[in-house]
Every structure is written in structure tokens, then in C-alpha cells.
């Protein structure tokens, strides 16, 4: 500490880096240094489950911006069943960088937005230094690494920081009726919703309610809590109307065809305690060393009035992240429990825990100085490395890296694209096949868009992975093969000999093989060419126009607001500084030593 | 008072976890591990097999010294490319048959998911009491060992030469083989319409055959279109006859006015090998009380048949096909080793069956080139 006189006033400043906030620019650069090389190496395309899926969606927008009807999967489906913004940004950037690089750029943007958004979110709850620590730790989050490199959930990882950026504006508007905050908050909320609906839907409850509670606590004596609540409701109504308009084709699609298909098994819905692999995948890996901080988080958070809403919000989100390990998600969600996957909630829970973890770090650093820094750095490193190590050790392997070029070459030559095709044993490489061929498939990777009875009557996900869904999966596959002539399904590509007996007994013949026989092509000769199927799920031209303009427009508006409208300095009450109690004596003693 | 929320969160989380653990069968599983009743012991063994913990399942046997571990594992894991090598135990039911102080027997219905569809197996399991727990007495089935021998290969074989390399299979500028549907019978079932019959290859060359059907209503509108799928032998040698069955689920026969049959035939490479003998055929009642056509298959060739598929046609006293049923055989057919088979038969059909004919289709991992 350095004390000097300035203008007759004694001023004390911290000279030790350990007692000052970490600059946000440094944290962003650190995020770039950690995730930049991994993304430059295209790791999501070799290890993740969904990266190819998002590229496939983006590819459609790149070719048919205003026509969300995609004939390449399920004999035709509407892309209005999935919010488009992340895919549209990939499509837009792909005109310059190509699809894969564009995906990586959008994912990089999401990764860089995480620490910025966490910092701004944490500032609502804790002081600047603890917020900077929270932001720093967000770079190392296991859940983030898991979702980016293993799950490939780009929309979740992009939507979450956008929503976190919006939440402080919601606080400012609710607490102090700041109109610029309302505008910026709404623009960011609509943008987050246009990226990922599920994150927004649950975020609006799990993130926003604690912040609303905080706004009421922080309102000051001159404002009534009713006024704060009314403003919050006004925000919610405006956001609801905005989302209703921006995602209108999505709502229309859902109203026309509500999701009534048989529930599809997902490991994140099981009781994680009954399977060590699942427990590792959905609990240890996403949280990493954060688990050690959780007792502190609950204990200290619950003792402080301002942090109680955050602790409660974190707790409920944490319970959601546990899937079927507690009955709470099922009680609260009902049938929706069988539709959702719960790994995404681990990111939300981890993000919500960070402000208090930042406090813990601050106290530890104040008390143990360099020892604490080394310990925290090691914990952060273990947390970020664990998901990467799990990618190699996990029994769940992705097929994203499969070489599908010969399959695409076959489909794109000699008029083979006049027929539909099916892949078996390709896992998530199916999306890669579909992106680069003009032929259409009866299968697909997006469960919510499926309308064919061969899918909806059985509790199975994509047919290419039918065997992993047991009898339900194989029955769905049998049903699809039975109706091959109806769908013009002539070609089957097999990357897992498990499927060969069924295909052979059903009358297909092996005609070609590639990669030393690891992929084989099977053909059935009495299949007529595929014909398009008229569907009432096909969006109208107006819906296509709205879908092609409003979501992207929202994001551009949010960017403009961000840069053009300066934030007003947030008035903060003294009570914000009262926890944790600054240990000034301790710091002085420490400095004297 | 400041700690109330923290204590509440910890206690509530613990309570939720315990509740979900019991809901998801954790308590039941713990009880099952105690193996204090014959049913629990059998369930424990089968649950280990379900989880593919074959070593731990083997540890549950009372007569380990008599049972070869590899043979035990092969019973569930399959061997020689059999259907069980493409299968996993999905669910099972266990119920008691007889229990006394030291010995008991239970019946287990095992439901496998396989590469060609579901497969059910019923086993009677004997157990004996060892102190406070029950252990499974696994039946000792010695693997038949054949003496070395030479089996001459003198079967017929037909090859098809495509004029241009790279042509799709089936793009052939020659006449299709002469194939004819020799019978067709539309049957009304409680929840479906079923077409059964037979198709013959009248040509002197092998044919790839597929039979499809379209049901039309009184106005000539299409009601449904289906094909024989795997309920036919797609490869027919010269003069060979195959039964076929086409299922139309969720349809009533009263709505059907007309049936349009469609048989597709293409030249195909084929051979008469392997020769599979079908013997000891009889209609009987299985342990679950269902009517089945049972018998045994003997592979008379020198090569292993990985997955046999039995298709049976049943005739009434007028020689009319009244039903076709099929089933996959879980074991591979080793040369000269008899393997039992059984295919289901609806009880109301069984009483009208006058005669039957069985054909065996097969899949070999090496045969597909």
C-alpha cells in the first residue's frame, strides 16, 4: 500500500497486484490465449457432438437465406424450429471465411464474451476485485470447455453471455428506471433469445429472478419495491412481445406441431449416482474444482442478505444440472423433463457461482497471498484441463472426425442424388455428410423437427445411432427400412457392421466400400426416385422473410446500442461494500511483514 | 438464524438425492445384491449380464468349478458371428417356480435388443442356498467337438458379370428372371391386415426378389403400401419357392377392396451353399404357453453360418397358405452341429394348420462382398 498527500488529502492506493482487480482486457486476452489455439486447431470439429450439426444449419442459411425449409433431413423439415442467429452469423461470415472457420469465429466470440459478461454480472453482487476474479475464473470453467469441445453447444455458449450482459441492464432499469438500460437490455435479451430459446427461457427465471430480488433489496428508501417489480414486469412484457415477433415463425411452427413424440433417452436425465461415467461426464467434468468452493459458496452466500437471491438461484440451477439425481427438475418441468437435456444447466450454475467464488478468491489472496494465487491457479488449470482429458478418456466418443468425403462423392455423382440416403454408425458425422452433398436423407440430427411417424412413434434419436437406443432405436430403423420405397431411400452407408445383418435381410446389397472397408455403400434396386413430400410445416414466404431479417437485425441493433449508447454509472449503495468486510488490519499487517 | 438458509439448502439437497436414489431403483438394487431370495439372486446375476459385467456374473455361480468361464460368457455374448454377438440384454423378468430349504428354481424371460430386432429367450434357472444367500447353479453344456474331416464342395454357383465397371448393382441390360407369385391370402388380424403367400423363381438363373403390395379402397384410392421386408428369402435359386408376409398395421380388412401386388426380380450372383437341413419339426406349446413351430437346423456345409433366419409357411387342409411366421436363430450354425429353433404361431391359426414348410435364409459376415 502507498499513502500520499494530494491536495492536502491523504490517499491510500494498493501497489500490490494481488490486492487490485485483474484488468478485464488481460482476462479477455487470457481467454484468447487459452481457447484461441484450441479453436484454431478446429478441436470442436474433431471431438464435439454438435459442431457439425450447427455448420449444417448454417450451410442451409448460406444457400437459402430466406427459405428455412430444408429438404436434406427427415424428407424435409423447417429450420424455424431452432432459433437461427448463431447459424446466420456463421452463414454470413462463411461468405468470407468458409463454413468451418466461420463457426470457429462465432464460437471464439462466445468464449470471449463469457468473461466480459461474467464481470458485468458479478459487479451486481460483489466488488470490483472479486468480480474481476470471477471473470478470470470464467475463462477456466470446466462447463464451458465441456460445452465447447465435447458437446459443441455453440448456441448455449453464445446465448448465456448475451443474456448475462442483458441482466445488469434489467437490474438498472428495474431499480432506477434507466431508459437506456431498458433499450440495451431488451436488445441483448432479444439477441440472446434469437440465439437459443432454451437458455433464454430458463435464464429468464434462473438468472433474472435473483437479480430482480436484488434490485428490490438495493432500491433504496426513496423507491418502493412495487415500482421495481412493476418495471421488471414491464421489461418482461416488452421482452416477451419482442421475442414473440422476432421468433414468430418459431412459435408458429411449435403451435402447428407441438412436440409430442416419444421421449428420447438422454444420459443427463438419469440418476448420475448410479453410473460413474455419467457422474464424471455431467458432474465432475463440468464443475471441476468449483466443487471444492461450493460449501463456502452456500455458507457465506446464505449468511449475506444481498447474496441470498444468488445462492438460491444457483442452488436451483445446480439441482437442474444434476438431471435425474434429484426429483426437483421432474417436479418443476413435468413432461418437459423428458425433452430437455440437462448438461447445459451446469454452465448456468457455474456462471452463477462465480461472483461468490470471486469473493472466496479475494479472501484467500488477502490472507495467503502468493500461496493462494498458486493454489487458485492450479485449481483453475485442473478445472480447464479435466474436460480436455476426459475427451480422451471418456467412453463416449464422437464420430465427428470421420472422413465422409467418399460418401459425399458417391452421392454427388451419376444422379445418385435422385434418391434419398441413410447413414448407419456415422454418429454426428451425419451432419458433415449432409452439409456437403446435394442428396437428401430420411434421417437427421435435430429431434425436435421430426414429423415422420417412423421417428415420432419410437423413443429414438437419429437412426444413424439407432443401436444405442436399444429396441426402440432398432424398431424405428426397421420401420424406416420397410418404407424405403415410399421415401425413395435407396442408398445406405454403413460405418458399423452391427447394422449389416438387418440391411442384408431387408434386401440391400453391398456395392462399394471405402477407407479399407470401414465404410460400405448398400443399394436396393427396386426403389423409385425420391419425391418431395408436401408438408403443413413448410414456412410461408413471409415467415422466411421475417426469419431472415429480424433475428440478425436484433443482433446488429444490440451491437450498435452497445457501442453508441454509453452506460450510466451505476449508483451503488454502501451495503454492497459491507460484504465481505474489508480486512484492512490484516492487509496492513501483511504489508508490514 | 443466519445459517438457516445454508442448513436448509444442504439438508434439502441431501433429501432430494436420497429420494431420487430410491426412485431410480438404488434401494432395490442394493436389496438385490444381498441375494437373500432365489429371485434376488437370479436378478443380480442377470443385472450383471445386462451391464456386461460377465466376470462378476460368473462370480455369482455356485458351480464355477464345473462351468468354463469362456463358455458361460459366450452364452450371452455370442460367438462365431452369431446374432448374440450383435445383441445386448435389454430387460428381463424373473419369477419363482419352486423353492424349498436348500434348492429353488426360477424362470427368466430375457429380452435382447439385436441387430435385426428384438429377441426373447426363456430360461429356467436352478439355485442353491449357501448360508444366507442364494447362488445360481448354471447348467453344464459341453461344447460339441467334431473330429477333423473333409467336406467336399460341389454346390452350384452362379455369377453375374456387369458389362461396365462402376454400374450400380441391378443396372442390367438383360431380361429379368421369371418370377411369379403362386399364392396370396389376405388375413384380417385384430390390429392389422396381413398378406401371406408364396413366390417362385421359374427361371434357370438365381433371382433377387422383393414383393410389395398396395391396398386400395372401394374408390380406388391407396390405403397403404408395404413390402415383404425381411419376411421373405430375397435370393431365390432356380425353381426355389419362398414364403412372404406383408404386414399393414392399423388397418381393417373391411376397408380393403383391392390389392395390387408387385414383384420385383433382378439377376443376382448366388450359390447353393450352405446347405441347411431342417429336421424334427413339430408344432408344440412352449413354457410360456404359446404355440410354436420348433425343430432343429443342421449346417451340412463346411463353413459357419453366422445368422440363420427361419421362415415358415403354414397351409390349411386345402393347401392354402394361412400364415407365415419367421424368426432369427441366436446361435451360429457350426458345421454338423444341430441347433434348435422355434417360431411363434398365433393360437387361432395353429388349430387350422394342416401342414407347413420351412425355408432358411442366412447372413454371413464374409459372404457380403
Mean pLDDT of chain B: 89
Widest distance between CA atoms in chain B? 94
For residue B108, is pLDDT > 70? yes
Same domain, A342 and A410: no
Residues ≥6 apart with Cβ < 8 Å to B22: none
Higher pLDDT, B218 or A18: B218
A479/A272 Cα distance (integer angstroms): 32
Same domain, A532 and A551: no
Residues A180-185: contacts with CB within 8 Å, 24+ apart? A180/A565, A180/A567, A180/A568, A181/A567, A181/A568, A182/A235, A182/A238, A183/A561, A183/A565, A184/A558, A184/A561, A184/A562, A184/A565, A184/A567, A185/A235
User: Is there a domain that residue A29 lies in?
Assistant: no
Same domain, A452 and A303: no
Same domain, A553 and A491: no
pLDDT in tens, B282-318: 999 988 888 999 999 999 988 899 999 999 999 999 9
Residue pair B133/B34 in contact by the 8 Å Cβ criterion: yes
DSSP letter (8 states) at residue B305: B
User: Is there a domain that residue A31 lies in?
Assistant: no
3-state helix, strand, coil in chain B (%, to 5): 20, 45, 40
- Set of chain B residues whose Cβ sits within 8 Å of the Cβ of A319: 13, 16
Check CB contact under 8 Å for A504 and B368. yes
Question: The whole model's pTM is what?
Answer: 0.88
User: Which of B1, B3, B6, B207 is best to mutate for the A interface (most A CBs within 10 A)?
Assistant: B6
User: Is there a domain that residue A35 lies in?
Assistant: no
> Would you write out chain A's pLDDT as a tens digit for each of its 593 residues?
666 666 666 766 666 778 889 999 999 999 999 999 999 999 999 999 999 999 999 999 999 999 999 999 999 999 999 999 999 999 999 999 999 999 999 999 999 999 999 999 999 999 999 999 999 999 999 999 999 999 999 999 999 999 999 999 999 999 988 999 999 999 999 999 999 988 888 887 889 999 999 999 988 777 788 999 999 999 999 999 999 999 999 999 999 988 777 777 888 999 999 889 999 999 999 999 999 999 989 999 999 999 999 999 999 999 999 999 999 999 999 888 888 889 889 999 999 999 999 999 999 999 999 999 999 999 999 999 999 999 888 887 777 788 999 999 999 998 999 999 999 999 989 999 999 999 999 999 998 888 888 888 887 889 999 999 999 999 999 999 999 999 999 999 999 999 999 999 999 999 899 988 899 999 998 899 999 988 899 999 999 999 999 999 999 999 999 989 888 765 554 444 444 444 443 433 333 33
Superfamily of domain B23-137: NTF2-like; domain 1 (3.10.450.100)
Strands A2-6 and B339-344: unpaired
Structure-block grid coordinates of residue A336: 418437459
Query: Domain limits of chain B?
Result: 23-137, 157-165+172-270, 274-363
User: Is there a domain that residue A157 lies in?
Assistant: yes
Number of domains in chain A: 2
User: Is there a domain that residue A587 lies in?
Assistant: no
Same domain, A420 and A526: yes
For position A575, what pLDDT does the model report?
Answer: 42
User: Which of A525, A531, A533, A579 is best to mutate for the B interface (most B CBs within 10 A)?
Assistant: A525
Q: In angstroms, what separates the C-alpha of A508 from chain B's closest C-alpha?
A: 9
B155/A60 Cα distance (integer angstroms): 54
- Set of chain B residues whose Cβ sits within 8 Å of the Cβ of A327: 16, 19-20, 23
Same domain, A474 and A389: no
What is the DSSP annotation of B36-100?
-SHHHHHHHHHHHHHTT-HHHHHHTBTTTTTS-HHHHHHHHH--TT-GGGGEEEEEEEEEEEEE-
Same domain, A389 and A453: no
Q: In angstroms, what separates the C-alpha of A330 from chain B's closest C-alpha?
A: 10
Same domain, A435 and A356: no
Taking residues B65-80, report their average pLDDT.
89
Tally of CA atoms within 13 A in the half-sphere of B66 that contains its CB: 10
Check CB contact under 8 Å for A500 and B21. no
Structure-block grid coordinates of residue A570: 451505476
- Set of chain B residues whose Cβ sits within 8 Å of the Cβ of A500: 115, 363, 365, 368
CATH of domain B274-363: 2.60.40.10
Question: DSSP alpha helices (H): ranges in A139-224?
Answer: 142-145, 154-176, 179-195, 197-206, 208-217
Nearest to A471 among B90, B170, B309 (CB): B90
User: Is there a domain that residue A591 lies in?
Assistant: no
pLDDT in tens, B172-192: 567 889 999 999 999 998 889
Q: Which residue of A has its CA nearest to B82?
A: A501
Helices and strands counted in chain A (H then E): 28, 9
Q: In angstroms, what separates the C-alpha of B104 from chain A's closest C-alpha?
A: 30
Fold type of domain B157-165+172-270: Immunoglobulin-like (2.60.40)
Same domain, A46 and A101: no
3-state SS assignment for residue B271: strand
Same domain, A195 and A171: yes
Q: Which domain holds residue A523?
A: 42-77+399-539
User: Is there a domain that residue A317 lies in?
Assistant: yes
Check CB contact under 8 Å for B117 and A502. yes
A208/A296 Cα distance (integer angstroms): 23
User: Is there a domain that residue A289 lies in?
Assistant: yes
Topology alike, domains B23-137 and B157-165+172-270: no
Residue pair B138/B65 in contact by the 8 Å Cβ criterion: no
Same domain, A271 and A147: yes
Residue B341 Cα distances to A60, A443, B122, B231, B245, angstroms: 51, 35, 13, 16, 19
Same domain, A459 and A531: yes
Q: Which residue of A has its CA nearest to B51?
A: A275
Structure-block grid coordinates of residue B325: 411366421
Quickly count: other Cβ atoms within 10 Å of residue B128's Cβ.
Answer: 15
For position A13, what pLDDT does the model report?
Answer: 65
Q: What is the ipTM of this complex?
A: 0.90
DSSP letter (8 states) at residue A266: -
Amino acid at each position: 500500500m502507498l499513502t500520499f498527500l494530494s491536495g492536502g488529502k491523504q490517499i491510500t492506493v494498493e501497489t500490490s497486484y494481488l490486492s487490485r482487480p485483474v484488468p478485464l482486457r488481460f482476462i479477455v486476452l487470457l481467454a484468447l490465449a487459452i481457447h484461441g489455439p484450441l479453436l484454431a486447431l478446429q478441436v470442436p470439429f474433431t471431438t464435439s457432438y454438435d459442431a457439425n450439426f450447427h455448420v449444417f444449419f448454417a450451410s442451409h442459411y448460406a444457400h437459402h437465406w430466406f427459405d428455412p425449409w430444408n429438404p436434406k433431413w427427415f424428407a424435409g423439415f423447417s429450420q424455424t424450429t431452432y432459433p437461427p442467429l448463431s447459424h446466420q452469423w456463421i452463414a454470413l461470415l462463411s461468405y468470407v471465411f468458409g463454413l468451418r472457420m466461420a463457426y470457429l469465429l462465432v464460437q471464439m466470440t462466445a468464449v470471449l464474451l463469457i468473461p466480459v459478461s461474467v464481470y458485468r454480472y458479478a459487479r451486481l453482487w460483489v466488488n470490483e476485485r472479486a468480480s474481476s476474479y470471477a471473470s478470470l475464473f470464467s475463462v477456466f470453467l470446466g462447463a464451458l470447455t465441456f460445452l465447447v469441445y465435447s458437446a459443441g453447444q455453440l448456441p448455449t455458449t453464445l446465448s448465456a453471455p448475451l443474456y448475462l450482459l442483458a441482466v445488469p441492464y434489467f437490474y438498472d432499469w428495474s431499480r432506477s428506471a434507466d431508459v437506456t438500460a431498458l433499450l440495451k437490455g431488451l436488445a441483448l435479451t432479444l439477441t440472446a433469445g434469437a440465439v437459443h430459446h432454451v437458455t433464454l427461457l430458463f435464464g429468464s427465471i434462473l438468472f433474472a429472478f435473483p437479480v430482480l430480488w436484488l434490485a428490490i433489496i438495493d432500491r433504496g428508501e426513496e423507491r418502493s419495491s412495487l415500482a421495481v417489480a412493476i418495471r421488471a414486469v414491464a421489461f418482461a412484457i416488452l421482452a416477451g412481445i419482442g421475442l414473440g415477433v422476432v421468433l414468430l415463425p418459431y412459435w408458429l411452427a411449435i403451435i402447428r406441431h407441438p412436440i409430442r413424440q416419444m421421449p428420447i433417452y438422454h444420459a443427463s436425465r438419469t440418476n448420475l449416482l448410479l453410473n460413474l461415467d455419467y457422474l464424471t461426464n455431467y458432474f465432475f467434468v463440468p464443475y471441476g474444482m468449483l466443487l471444492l468452493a461450493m460449501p463456502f459458496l452456500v455458507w457465506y452466500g446464505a449468511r449475506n442478505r444481498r447474496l441470498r437471491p444468488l445462492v438460491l438461484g444457483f442452488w436451483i440451477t445446480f439441482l437442474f444440472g444434476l438431471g435425474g439425481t434429484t426429483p426437483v427438475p421432474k417436479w418443476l418441468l413435468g413432461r418437459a423433463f423428458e425433452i430437455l437435456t440437462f448438461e447445459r444447466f451446469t454452465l448456468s450454475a457455474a456462471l452463477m457461482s462465480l461472483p461468490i467464488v470471486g469473493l472466496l478468491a479475494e479472501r484467500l489472496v488477502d490472507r495467503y497471498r502468493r500461496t493462494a494465487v498458486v493454489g487458485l491457479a492450479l485449481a483453475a488449470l485442473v478445472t480447464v484441463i479435466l474436460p480436455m482429458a476426459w475427451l480422451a478418456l471418456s467412453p463416449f466418443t464422437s464420430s465427428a472426425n470421420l472422413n465422409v468425403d467418399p460418401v459425399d462423392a458417391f452421392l454427388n455423382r451419376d444422379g445418385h442424388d435422385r434418391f434419398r440416403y441413410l447413414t448407419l454408425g456415422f454418429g454426428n458425422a451425419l451432419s458433415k455428410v449432409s452439409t456437403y452433398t446435394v442428396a437428401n436423407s430420411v434421417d437427421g440430427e435435430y429431434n425436435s423437427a421430426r414429423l415422420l411417424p417412423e421417428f415420432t412413434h419410437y423413443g429414438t434419436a437419429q437412426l444413424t445411432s439407432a443401436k444405442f437406443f436399444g429396441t426402440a432405436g432398432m424398431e424405428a430403423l426397421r420401420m424406416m427400412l420397410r418404407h424405403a420405397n415410399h421415401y425413395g431411400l435407396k442408398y445406405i452407408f454403413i460405418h458399423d457392421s452391427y447394422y449389416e445383418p438387418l440391411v442384408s435381410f431387408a434386401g440391400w446389397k453391398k456395392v462399394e466400400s471405402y477407407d479399407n472397408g470401414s465404410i460400405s455403400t448398400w443399394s436396393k434396386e427396386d426403389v423409385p426416385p425420391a419425391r418431395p413430400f408436401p408438408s403443413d410445416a413448410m414456412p410461408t414466404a413471409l415467415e422466411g422473410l421475417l426469419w431472415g431479417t429480424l433475428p440478425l437485425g436484433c443482433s446488429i441493433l444490440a451491437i450498435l446500442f452497445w457501442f453508441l449508447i454509453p452506460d450510466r454509472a451505476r449508483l451503488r449503495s454502501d451495503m454492497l461494500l459491507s460484504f465481505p468486510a474489508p480486512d484492512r488490519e490484516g492487509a496492513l499487517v501483511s504489508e508490514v511483514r | 438464524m443466519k445459517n438457516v438458509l445454508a442448513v436448509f439448502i444442504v439438508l434439502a439437497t441431501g433429501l432430494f438425492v436420497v429420494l431420487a436414489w430410491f426412485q431410480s431403483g438404488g434401494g432395490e438394487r442394493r436389496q438385490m445384491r444381498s441375494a437373500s431370495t432365489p429371485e434376488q439372486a437370479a436378478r443380480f446375476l442377470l443385472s450383471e449380464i445386462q451391464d456386461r459385467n460377465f466376470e462378476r456374473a460368473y462370480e455369482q455361480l455356485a458351480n464355477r468349478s464345473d462351468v468354463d468361464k469362456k463358455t458361460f460368457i459366450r452364452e450371452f455374448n455370442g460367438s462365431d458371428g452369431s446374432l448374440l454377438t450383435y445383441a445386448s440384454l435389454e430387460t428381463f423378468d424373473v419369477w419363482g417356480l419352486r423353492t424349498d430349504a436348500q434348492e429353488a428354481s426360477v424362470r427368466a424371460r430375457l429380452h435382447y435388443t439385436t441387430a435385426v430386432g428384438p429377441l426373447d429367450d426363456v430360461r429356467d434357472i436352478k439355485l442353491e442356498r449357501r448360508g444366507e444367500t442364494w447362488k445360481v447353479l448354471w447348467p453344464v453344456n459341453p461344447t460339441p467337438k467334431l473330429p477333423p474331416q473333409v467336406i467336399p464342395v460341389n454346390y452350384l454357383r452362379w455369377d453375374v458379370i456387369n458389362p461396365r465397371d462402376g454400374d450400380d448393382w441391378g443396372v442390367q441390360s438383360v431380361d429379368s428372371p421369371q418370377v411369379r407369385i403362386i399364392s396370396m391370402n389376405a388375413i384380417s388380424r385384430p390390429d392389422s391386415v396381413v398378406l401371406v403367400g408364396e413366390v417362385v423363381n421359374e427361371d434357370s438363373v438365381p433371382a433377387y426378389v422383393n414383393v410389395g403390395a398396395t391396398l386400395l379402397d372401394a374408390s380406388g384410392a391407396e390405403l397403404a403400401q408395404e413390402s415383404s421386408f425381411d419376411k421373405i428369402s430375397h435370393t431365390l435359386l432356380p425353381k426355389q419357392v419362398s414364403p412372404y408376409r406383408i404386414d399393414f398395421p392399423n388397418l381393417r380388412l373391411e376397408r380393403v377392396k383391392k390389392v395390387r401386388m408387385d414383384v420385383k426380380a433382378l439377376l443376382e450372383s448366388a450359390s447353393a451353399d450352405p446347405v441347411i437341413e431342417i429336421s424334427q419339426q413339430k408344432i408344440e406349446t412352449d413354457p410360456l404357453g404359446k404355440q410354436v413351430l420348433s425343430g432343429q437346423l443342421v449346417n451340412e456345409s463346411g463353413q459357419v453360418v453366422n445368422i440363420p433366419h427361419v421362415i415358415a409357411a403354414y397351409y390349411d387342409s386345402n393347401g392354402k397358405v394361412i400364415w407365415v411366421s419367421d424368426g432369427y436363430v441366436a446361435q451360429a450354425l457350426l458345421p454338423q452341429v444341430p441347433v434348435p429353433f422355434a417360431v411363434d404361431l398365433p393360437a387361432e391359426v395353429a388349430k387350422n394348420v394342416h401342414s407347413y414348410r420351412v425355408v432358411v435364409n442366412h447372413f454371413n459376415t464374409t459372404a457380403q462382398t
